[in-house]
């Protein structure tokens, strides 16, 4: 049995689609800030999104307590 502590991270992005431009803020439950950025990048690789860039990733968790545990 494995346990993993997860924290919330804020990832701010600039997104350009075929008919829109927007700044989007994602709140991601992940084990570290690098994984949070990776999850947002994989989510944004969709057909209607032409271009995106990561503006900011909080390197510190939003909350200091454990928000969830996945046991596998």
Instruction: Look at 51 and 67; give whichever has higher pLDDT.
Output: 51
State whether residue 42 is helix, strand or coil. Answer: helix
Q: Would the pLDDT of 1 be above 70? A: no
Burial class (CB in 10 A: 0-12, 13-18, 19+), 28: buried
What pLDDT, on a 0 to 100 scale, did the predictor assign at position 38? 92
Residue 69 pLDDT grade (very low, low, confident, very high; cuts 50, 70, 90): low
In the chain, how many domains are there? 1
What pLDDT, on a 0 to 100 scale, did the predictor assign at position 70? 54
- Summarised one tens digit per residue, pLDDT across range 12-39 is 889 888 888 888 888 888 888 899 989 9
Range of the domain at 43: 5-69
């Amino acid at each position: 049995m494995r346990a993993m502590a997860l924290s919330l991270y804020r990832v701010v992005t600039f997104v350009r689609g075929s008919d829109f431009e927007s700044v989007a803020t994602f709140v991601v439950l992940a084990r570290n800030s690098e994984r949070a950025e990776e999850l947002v990048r994989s989510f944004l690789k969709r057909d209607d999104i032409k271009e995106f860039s990561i503006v900011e990733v909080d390197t510190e968790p939003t909350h200091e307590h454990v928000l969830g545990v996945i046991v596998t």
